[in-house]
Structure 1
Amino acid sequence: MGDSSVTGTIAADSSDVLPALPLGVWRPTKETLHRYIQIVGKVALAKGIRRNHWWHMTYRVNARGWTTLPLGSATDGPVFTCAFDFFDHVLRISNDRGSQEEIPLAEQSVAGFYAETMRGLRDLGVEVELPFPTPYDLPDHGRPFAEDEEHHHYDPAAAQRAFRVTSQVGRILEDFSASYSGKISPVQLFWHTFDLAVQRFSDRKIDMPENVDPVTREAYSREEISAGFWFGDDKVPEPTFYSYTAPEPEGLTELPLRPPEARWVPSGSAHAAYYSYDAARRSADPVGAALDFLHSAYAAGSRLAGWDAPALACPGGITDPVLGSLWKGWPE
């Protein structure tokens, strides 16, 4: 595989099914980009039409980067989207009146990006005020975006490689999602934790103590099994596939995972299943290895949580049993 990451730089290589992206190599860009997506994510939180489990404020992966859903409402226009383009390296804000603004991602600080993004929105007729214009759950959470001159590193090649990773992993998560017919989230990029994930839900409502914060209450109001990927952090310093069941059923960590490198690890007050992204890359079938992990973690969680997995199965994205038994692809 072509990979220049060992030299401390990152170059695109479309031949990699799962491109290499060591955390240490692109971390300065990741720290800046994380704050960029939090700024725009908070715009989506303020201007989106609320959906269950916060699905209105997340990003979707498209062919050029990460985009919000259409924002605004029928009575509070204009309708607009904010899309990170990792080929032109701009944030492209477009409205339904045919106008757009482009905010460069490189050669400016978080403070500069924040100011330009707010200006671009105003110029497009979008009035928005962020109640908390500071990072969420990051070390500098108390510092306003408008004052952050520290984070200003943006390597276009690294950012584009990170996008390609989410594009490829997104396809894997879509493939995994196709086999489930119950309530399921979109495959979405969460800006607070910078991970790409999909959640499967049961009908079981979860009672939580009164002191649980509103974000957590809505996110985990139903029993769920989550599957996803993140780029790594101080606790897990490498890109990693993960899965967890919430609430965690008793005995979950005693059930086996696949492939052999996958493992259960403590995560807060519970556990998560981890499988190294680089372990998948090294396998003979990287996509198959990642899917094997996701399916094994789901099988463990659904079994102990008492889900009717056969009834919820949707092989190949087909729910009709007759069609499923006959399906061999589209006719020629």
Structure 2
Amino acid sequence: MSRPWPDIPYEPWAETCAALHLMSQVVGKVRIAHTPWVNHSWHATLYVTPRGLTTGPIHHENGCLTLSFDLQDHLLVCENASGWRASTELGPTSISDFTAGVGRLVEGAGAVFDIHGAPNEIPDPVPFAEDHVQRPYDADAVERFHDALLQIDRVFSRFSTAFLGKTSPVHLFWGSFDLAVTRFSGQPAPEHPGGVPYLPDAVTREAYSHEVSSAGFWPGNGGAGEAMFYSYAYPVPEGFSAQTVEPDSARWDSELGEFVLPYEAVRTSEDPEATLLAFLQSTYTAASRCADWDAALNTSLQKPGIPRTV
């Protein structure tokens, strides 16, 4: 029997979510400080693991390390290639203290801790070292959030198998704190106008250098107010907003310029995986049809252990 999708109402853990968001930025910036640029900022992201989130291997001048959020035992774990391992507890703290703790772990692993010291994509950002406000940490809510990420990662990964073109990994962007997966038509896109708050325009323009159909999940941050799935296209093709998508609880959000679907509508449906796949597939189909993508890029959902027929 598959595990039930957890209830993750945003408001009760909003402050914890905000703290975890900032913590993920500190950790993500360690990766970006040591990793050569990969297209669309894929070198900066975090990945879902059975226990939480990880940077994956970070290669640096003196070796290799990994930083991982263990959201079951509530630790930030640092490991290096020499077998050294250390951790710091996740709990109520200030972002300044958390940042100092990350610095000690990174330096203990043999790397230089020198990151861009302020948040991105957050209104009125306070430099990490100057953010002394004590933040709460609701461990139960964090565990349920991780359980949701595991379910969503599984469905997003399965959805990825039905496309033959360039596809991103399923990864968490710590700037906006969303789990996302993106498909590319292969065609260049018009230059993005930029203007994302506290994000260099050069980063945004490189991210949207080519046509995309992108889907993702927010836990409720960024003004959403509730856990939400989204799907958008860049550039927005003519007629996209008028397309009919599934399920019935999905809608076009004119302010965001994308389709949205409440997480709760997925969680409480008879078949959450099928409901989410219907949203992902129908919004992608709408985007690719309106933008006249090559239909040869599409294939069926694949199964474990069976090679795709060429």
Answer whether TM exceeds 0.5 for this pair.
yes
Match of 1:91 among 62, 72, 76: 76
**Bigger Rg over Cα:** 1
1:283 counterpart = 2:266: no
Three-state SS of the structure 2 residue aligned to 1:189 is strand
1:296 shift after superposition: 0.4
Q: 1:264 to 1:26 in 2, by over 3 A?
A: same
Partner of 1:79: 64
CA distance in 2: counterparts of 1:209 and 1:274, whole angstroms: 22
CA distance in 2: counterparts of 1:147 and 1:159, whole angstroms: 25
Match of 2:285 among 275, 299, 314: 299
Per mean C-alpha deviation after superposition, the further-off stretch among 104-113 and 194-203 is 104-113
Partner of 2:26: 39
Partner of 1:175: 158
CA distance in 1: counterparts of 2:172 and 2:51, whole angstroms: 14
1:209 shift after superposition: 6.5
CA distance in 2: counterparts of 1:167 and 1:71, whole angstroms: 23
One-letter code aligned to 2:248? P
Q: 1:149 to 1:53 in 2, by over 3 A?
A: same
Q: 1:221 to 1:99 in 2, by over 3 A?
A: same
Query: Are the counterparts in 1 of residues 192 and 209 from structure 2 also a CA contact under 8 Å?
Result: no
CA distance in 2: counterparts of 1:280 and 1:227, whole angstroms: 15
Partner of 1:4: none
- Alpha carbon RMSD of aligned pairs, Å? 2.1
Query: Are the counterparts in 1 of residues 302 and 308 from structure 2 also a CA contact under 8 Å?
Result: no
1:166 shift after superposition: 0.7
CA distance in 2: counterparts of 1:163 and 1:211, whole angstroms: 31
Three-state SS of the structure 2 residue aligned to 1:113 is helix
Partner of 2:120: 136
Q: 1:234 to 1:84 in 2, by over 3 A?
A: closer
One-letter code aligned to 1:190? F
* Cα deviation digits, residues 278-329 of structure 1 (max 9, x gap): 11122111111111011000000000111123x11232338xxx9649xxxx
Query: Are the counterparts in 1 of residues 212 and 233 from structure 2 also a CA contact under 8 Å?
Result: yes
Query: Are the counterparts in 2 of residues 48 and 70 from structure 1 also a CA contact under 8 Å?
Result: no
1:49 shift after superposition: 2.9
Query: Are the counterparts in 1 of residues 165 and 186 from structure 2 also a CA contact under 8 Å?
Result: no
If the length of structure 1 is used for normalisation, what is the TM-score?
0.86
CA distance in 2: counterparts of 1:210 and 1:23, whole angstroms: 31
Three-state SS of the structure 2 residue aligned to 1:264 is strand
If the length of structure 2 is used for normalisation, what is the TM-score?
0.92
Partner of 1:102: 87
1:255 shift after superposition: 1.0
1:208 shift after superposition: 1.4
Partner of 1:191: 174
CA distance in 1: counterparts of 2:38 and 2:260, whole angstroms: 29
Query: Are the counterparts in 1 of residues 65 and 81 from structure 2 also a CA contact under 8 Å?
Result: yes
Unpaired stretches in structure 1, ≥5 consecutive residues = 1-13, 326-332
One-letter code aligned to 1:20? D
The number of equivalent residue pairs is 303
Give matches, 1:207-226, under 5 Å: 207-208=190-191, 213-226=201-214
Identity value in percent? 39
Three-state SS of the structure 2 residue aligned to 1:316 is coil
